[in-house]
Amino acid sequence: MYKILISDKLAEAGINYLNDQDGIHIHIQTGLKEDELCQIIGEYDALLIRSDTKVTEKVLKAATKLKVVGRAGIGVDNVDIAAATEQGIIVMNTPDANATTTAELAIAHMLSLSRHLPAADRSIRAGKWERSKLMGSEVAHKTLAILGFGTIGRIASQRGLGLGMEVIAYDPFVTPEIFERYGVQSVDLEELVKRADYLTLHCPLIEKTKGIIGSAQMAMMKKEAMIINCARGGLIDEAALYDALKNNRIAGAALDVFEHEPPVNSPLLELDNIVFTPHLGASTAEAQVAVSVEIARQAVIYLKTGEAVNALNLPRLSAEQLKKASQYMGLANILGKVLAGLATQPLERIEVALFGKAAEVDVRPVSIEALVGVLSGKVSTPVNRVNAEKIAKRQGISLVESKTEETHDFLSLVKVTGFFGNESVSLSGTLLGERRPRLVQVDQFEVEVVPEGTLIFTRHDDKPGVISSISSVLGESNINISRMEVGGANNELAMAVISISEPLNDDLLAQLCDIPAVHRAAQVIL
């Protein structure tokens, strides 16, 4: 008999599902403080929560029988995932259960903006009849531009196509085949904002997407364009949005999320050409039922079969397994991160090969860790060894694995190759003393690089003066070079891998690319 504690309110359908399962006993007790939860959590095999319960390290240490924490919803800020992993406890969520609800809210906002529905309602309530003032526009034959083409963006695209719209999207981590499958044209960010009649955001808030729609992007947009954000506050520069709306550089906007929630004293509240909702993306009866039933189903599956659906971490590995594979897994993770930094287009296929002594371990955890390195920070869901392959498939990335005891100049070698478009990048790494990772080959260029910190990779003409020019650009900006490796494959091309004291901004990286003999420069931060 498995015992499940439900410490936040779940929809009745989820409770009924659990009650119908053989071998499952549930107890519902909400509003528990940390000490109260610690006193009882040791009895339970699973804990199901929403956002109110705080699953702290203290709680997890007291959870001596706990096998899984299930979050009905997406956000897991209230769970100490690192502490859960340390205790061998799976943490899972329901990332897709409210995707339809969020996509439909974005479409509702689009239609509301197009027909001035909030203003029309206020007008009628004020005793007015302003039909000419409230002239709207059709969405049919207009361009719906989607920033972020994950699950929610894909659902929104199908709703837009159903309304007779032209749908375009920007997502640098989605392959052309995925766009083609959904009947959506893939464009770059500049074309996206220029062509948009309605720009709807559905991407994660990470460092690279913070303020992704700012004054520069709004300046490119049509005067008739409208912006909708039901994703995350912070994707839009709200000061720039205020300026664009106030000066009629764009026609309107709708926000369900904000930089600060609630948006008390925001100047946006003063404007008439913007509408608001209080973070209602998942607030439908259907979504509440869906997340409750889904997390109940996932918890039961894990308790009865060990299958971890939508897990955000890993169960505890045996000491023997960890000792045997962990160093190669760490090396593969590093190679994956470097690959993600060097790929110039969305990756379509990744091949992981183990040679020599590395082939003595199971290739699967090593290859999955390479995927973790590639995907980390590129998608909204935290990526780990449990969910990496599923996320890769969703992004259109296939995985090929192989191993052989043959050696390639090294006792052990891990090779990770990424394919995109008509190009590929191949990286080989080894362990010195079976523990110190080294990058030893990039494509045809042999190097010996300590893979840590900030690395600059250049491909350049193999001739005198190039390294001096690169060093001058860095030196003039007070960027210290701590290590440099230069590899030559033939008499024409060479590669430099330069370890520097701090990351370069876009302008400095562009200066390196502008050196006539430099064909390509990329930055990788490890």
Q: Which residues are catalytic?
A: 232, 261, 279
**431 — phi, psi (to 5°)?**
-120, 125
Q: Closest Cα to residue 210, out of 188, 190, 232, 229?
A: 232
CA distance 210 to 204: 9
Strand partners, 226: 198, 252
CA distance 310 to 319: 25
What residue type is 475 in one-letter code? G
CA distance 144 to 206: 23
Bridge-based pairing of strands 90-92 and 454-461 is unpaired
Residue count (the chain): 526
| Residues 182 and 212 sit within 8 Å (Cβ to Cβ) | no
| Residues 80 and 56 sit within 8 Å (Cβ to Cβ) | yes
Tokens of 261: 């929630």
CA distance 178 to 200: 19
| Residues 63 and 89 sit within 8 Å (Cβ to Cβ) | yes
| Residues 185 and 144 sit within 8 Å (Cβ to Cβ) | no
Longest Cα–Cα distance of the chain, Å, equals 85
| Residues 416 and 339 sit within 8 Å (Cβ to Cβ) | yes
Rounded alpha-carbon distances, angstroms, from residue 466 to 265, 469, 487: 54, 5, 13
Q: Tell me 243's DSSP state.
A: H
Q: CA 316, 318, 320: angle at the middle one, nearest 5?
A: 150
Within 10 angstroms of residue 476's Cβ, the number of other Cβ atoms is: 10
CA distance 144 to 122: 27
Helix (H, G, I), strand (E, B) or coil at 186: strand
CA distance 9 to 96: 20
